[in-house]
Each structure stands twice: as C-alpha cells, then as structure tokens.
Chain A
C-alpha cells in the first residue's frame, strides 16, 4: 500500500470515533425530529401515530402561546445581545488601559462565566426575593420598583430581571473576547492620531471601532444564536410564567410534560424544527465567518 493511502486510512480511523458519537447523539435525533414533526404522535405506547403532513406547522403558527414565546425570545435576544455588546466593548476598552490591579480585574471577569447558569440564576433569584432580596431593597430605595411588588412575578419586570442575569453572565466574557481583538491594534496608530490632533471620539470611531469590527461581528452572531436557544435562566427564574416563556421553554413543556399525556410529541418536534431553522441562519453565517480552509 502506498504511504499516502495508508496515512489517509489512519486519518479516517482517527476521526471516526468522534464522527460516530456525534452521528448517533446529534444527527440521528435531529433527523428523527424532522421526521416526527410530520406525525401526530405521543410518548405513551397506546397513542396512535398518524401522518399529518405539514399539519403541525400550520397549527403551530396559529398557536397563541407559540407566538408569545417567539416574541419573548426575540425581545430577550435583541435586548440582551445589544446590551452585552455595548457594555462588552466599553469594559474591554477599560481593561485595556494600563492601571494597577488590571490582572485582578481581568481574572474577576471570568467569575460570572464560570458559575453554572443554573446556580447563578438561583443566586439572582435570591437577590430578587420580594421580602428580603438585596436587589429588591436597592431598587426600592432608588424608587425604580414600588415596595412590596414581587419583581419576578410581574409581567413588566420579570423579563428584565432575566435579561439582567444574562447580561451579568455574558458581558465580561464578551469583553474578554473583544479585548483579544483590541490588543492586536498597534499602539503607533493611536500615537500618530494623537500627533495629528485627533480627539478621543475620533480615535475611537476611526481606529478602535474599525479594527475590532470583525471580532465584535463574530461575537455578536455567536451570542445571538446562543440567546435564541435560552432555557436555563428562564426556566429557573420564572418557569416561563408572567410573559417570559421562550421558545425552548415552551418546547420542553410540549416534548416532556404534555407528550406523555397526549399526542403532542409530533407538535413539539415541529417547534424543535422551527427553532433549529431559526438558529441555523446564524450558525451558517458564523461558520462561514470562521473561513475554514484546512486542505
């Protein structure tokens, strides 16, 4: 056998375990989800499986709860991603300045990211506790919320509380990613601009922004596709009540809670497909932005 052919065989042998696992655990169930979305079916053995074509999809788009979940998901995604990007950029610029204890601050920024979302959601839920939560007291003192109003049980404030947790967790991380881009900007550019008399705003808009544009763009797409599938924080803070239910939370209700009592599994699968399609758009842009050329 030629050496090259042998090497190719070895190479395929080495990628096969990885491909096998992701095929069984990711691609096979994805395929089945697509397939099941065309049937009326449940998870109890006695529920008959019946082909309904695109029936589930038609029903889904008439479903008020789906429409609300879609609105909530889009609202959550747009607001949190915008806030995370703006604060992320500001914090990145801040920790790029020379000052004492800069290392400590950069290290502290990893803490929100490292704490499991399920746990940080509970920490925040405690801070939002209606009677003894520290944040509730703080917001009451600032007259932002009325005393005695439970923040997580009110339709107007609950979603903002959830967004606050997400922004808290993700902004520092976003900042560290943008910081990596900032550090690539040569200091001479700023000096030259200063000598030419450019002010802070001009230096920011003419040098910093264009230089980190692509870093921000990629981080933004990645955060968007992550936010569109949000589950943990919503589920733990409100269980999807008071107008905070997102697509993923509703989908789990259909697939796991309702599918055992009625023929909801196919309907739930249709929603799974819709979420998949929605996120695919951003995933494709993201993967293309990585410009993978390995050959």
Chain B
C-alpha cells in the first residue's frame, strides 16, 4: 500500500468515526428538541420525520399551563443555588486548612470526607428519611439542601484542596510578613485569587445538585415540592397510557439548554476539575 492510499484510508476512517461520535452525543438531545416542536399529529406518526413539518411552540406553553413546571424550576433553583453557596463556603474552608495549615491527621480527615462521595446513597436513604422526618424536614427546602451539601462536599473539598495547593505560597508568606492575619489573607488574597477555581467547582456542585433524583424523589413527597428531575420522571397525562411526550420533551429542553450552555462555556475548567477529582489524585 502506498503512503497516499494509507493517508486516504486514515482520513476516511477518521471522518466517519468523528461523525459517528458527534451523532452519538448529540442525537438524543436533538431528537428531544425536534419532538418538542412537533404537534401531536406529527409526534405520534408511525413514520416520524427527522424535523418538524409544521413546528409549533404549543408544547412549551402547555408545560406551564397544565402543570406547575415553573414551581418545579423554582424549587430546583433554590435548592441547587443554596447548596452550591453553602458547599463552596464549607468546602473552601476545609480545603484551605487541609492544603495549607499545620494540622495532624490531615490525610485521615481528607479520606473521611472523600469516603462519603463513595457512599451508595441508597444505603443511607432509609435512616436519613427517619432523621429528616424526626426533624420535620420532609417536604422542606432545608430537608433537601442538607443532604445535598453532604454529598457534594467531598468532591468540592478535594478539588479546592488541590487548587489551593497549586497557588504560589510566596504571596501568602509575604502577606504574613507584612503583618496580615491568616483570616485576612484568606479573604483578601487567597479567595480572590481562587475565583476561577471556585466558579468551576461551584458549577460542578450546582450540576450535581440540579441533577440529583433519588433523595429529591424520597424527601419531597408533594408535587409542589418536586424538583425538576422528579417532576420530569413523574410526568403523566390523564391516563397511564397517555404520556404527553411533546410536553415532556419541551420540559426536558427548557431545563437542559441552560445547563448545556453553561457546560460549553466552562468546558475546559470542568474537564480539568473532573480529572483532578476523578483520576489524577
């Protein structure tokens, strides 16, 4: 085989594979968008077309008219938002102490925190339900925020700990020599310098809280308190056999688009953060 033929084969295989991977990643999302724009007559056509012939936004209107989807979005925003803020505060304190301060048993503390990220949620589900029920926190925002802080803290602390460790130590030392207290150094130098890391980590925390299903499904038992994933999983029509797929896909698109946009904007930071937490160590 000549070098030229080899080159052509390589190019062809490469192009086909790339197209396949792109289709693979995007098609389900594309199909949700297309389905959400189809009127019911087209949606349930036994021979579906790859794009809507007469696109309509009626599914997007109905999803807010026929069900409290705006309430579900608000629930998710509140729960994920507060979780992110609290986790970032607790996580950056713990991460900084582990990365920089003199403390015996650091590795033990870090392993203890990391171990929680590996807990199967189902193993604490029953007992946690009883604890929250005794604290009267079932069907409250706090009853979901507390568990979310606990399950997102490990990865946040770990990533931030790695991040603080990589900051140049000299700046903090110079601040100390100039008589700047530890706390002031932390708030006026370390945290502002870590802003990009905090934003990326915060986004990861937000996404995991926004996506969580099992706890939300168990601790929020009234439809008015459902978060987005639960509302979408529990989506139903008038009868069991009449699933309103058009509306469902519209709902899916509404809550996925902002997420996808955020992820695309922060893609490099997310990948860096995830590989720090997932593989590199």
Contacts and interface: CB of A to CB of B under 8 A. Distances in A.
A33 B123 CA distance: 7
B73 interface: no
A282 B279 CA distance: 15
A19 B109 CA distance: 8
Given A33-B123, A119-B232, A180 B130 contact: no
A7 B28 contact: no
Given A94-B21, A177-B274, A111 B26 contact: yes
A118 B28 contact: no
Interface string B252-281: 100110011011100100110011001111
B202 interface: no
A256 B29 CA distance: 33
B146 interface: yes
Interface string B233-259: 101000000000100110010011001
Contact of B123 (A25, A219, A276): A276
Interface residues of A, number: 102
Contacts of B232: 116, 118-119, 122
A105 B21 contact: yes
Residue from B25, B146, B262 whose CB has the most chain A CB atoms within 10 Å: B25
Contacts of A272: 120, 122-126
Interface residues of B, number: 99
Contacts of A25: 124, 128, 146-147, 149-151
Contact of A293 (B107, B119, B263): B107
Nearest to A215: B279
Interface in B161-199: 161, 182
B271 A259 contact: no
A15 B93 contact: yes
A71 interface: no
A60 B164 CA distance: 47
Interface stretch (A47-55, A76-84, A226-234): A226-234
Contact of B260 (A29, A114, A134): A114
Contact of A180 (B157, B262, B279): B279
Chain A interface, >50% SS class: helix
Contacts of A8: 101-104
B115 A287 contact: yes
Interface string A121-147: 111101101011010010000000000
Given A12-B103, A116-B228, A269-B126, A94 B14 contact: yes
B71 interface: no
Contact of A177 (B126, B150, B279, B281): B279
A287 B111 contact: yes
Among A27, A132, A248, A280, the one with the most B-chain Cβ atoms within 10 Å of its Cβ is: A132
Nearest to B10: A97
A62 interface: no
B103 A11 contact: yes
A273 B118 CA distance: 14
Given A7-B102, A108-B22, A275-B123, A18 B93 contact: yes
B50 to A, nearest CB: 8
Contacts of A190: none
Output the residue of B45, B46, B116, B235 with the most chain A CB within 10 A: B116
Given A232-B213, A295-B106, 5 more contacts: A15-B103, A18-B153, A132-B46, A272-B126, A275-B120
22 contacts: A8-B103, A22-B153, A26-B124, A32-B127, A99-B14, A116-B211, A117-B229, A118-B230, A123-B249, A124-B28, A126-B32, A137-B48, A218-B278, A225-B118, A252-B125, A256-B218, A259-B126, A272-B124, A272-B125, A279-B118, A282-B118, A295-B106
Top 7 A-B pairs, shortest CB-CB distance: A25-B150, A118-B229, A29-B127, A11-B101, A116-B211, A283-B118, A290-B281
